[in-house]
């Protein structure tokens, strides 16, 4: 009985799909108390993501716009120290504008949805970031 259990577990482990490791690249954008803007051109393939960070002061407005030819690519905006995104592009679109509640480094993550990522599609993008 024990040998059958071990054989079943080994068969299960061998048959499980391999999960691709997420590769993260990125660039920092520094915003001051004055208006700052940056245009970033990049490319992600498959499960890759690109993290772009921006230092923003409380009370500033952060604007982010993603232009891409791949309809399965989006971005999220995450506040410093947060576990969940405050803006999710796949449900809200590729344009964000919001008043920043707390000073700190915010992360803008460009990614592809699983359907495109598993086909190893490529998304070339232009990301416009503005803090004022």
Residue 9 and residue 87: Cα distance in Å, rounded?
Answer: 40
pLDDT at 36: 77
The chain-wide mean pLDDT, for the chain, equals 82
Q: What is the pLDDT of residue 3?
A: 57
What is the C-alpha to C-alpha distance for residues 74 and 91, in angstroms, rounded to an integer?
Answer: 9
**20-131 fold:** Jelly Rolls (2.60.120)
In the chain, the N- to C-terminal Cα span, in Å, equals 68
pLDDT tens string 60-119: 999 999 999 999 999 999 999 999 999 999 999 999 999 999 999 999 999 999 999 999
Is the confidence at residue 4, as pLDDT, over 70? Answer: no
pTM above 0.85, yes or no: no
Confidence band, pLDDT 50/70/90 cuts, at residue 16: very low
Residue ranges of the domains in the chain? 20-131
- Say if residues 77 and 9 touch (Cβ distance below 8 Å): no
According to the model, what pLDDT value does residue 77 have? 97
In angstroms, what CA-CA distances link 30 with 3, 56, 76?
60, 8, 18
């Amino acid at each position: 009985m024990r040998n059958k259990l071990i054989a079943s577990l080994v068969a299960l482990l061998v048959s499980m799909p391999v999960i691709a490791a997420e590769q993260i690249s990125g660039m920092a954008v520094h915003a001051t108390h004055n208006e700052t803007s940056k245009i970033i051109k990049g490319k992600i393939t498959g499960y890759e993501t690109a993290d772009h960070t921006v230092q923003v002061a409380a009370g500033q407005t952060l604007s982010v716009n993603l232009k891409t030819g791949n309809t399965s690519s989006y971005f999220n905006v995450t506040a410093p120290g947060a576990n969940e995104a405050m803006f999710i592009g796949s449900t809200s679109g590729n344009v964000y504008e919001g008043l920043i509640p707390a000073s700190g480094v915010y992360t803008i993550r460009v990614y592809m949805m699983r359907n495109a990522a598993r086909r190893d599609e490529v998304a070339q993008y232009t990301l416009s970031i503005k803090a004022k």
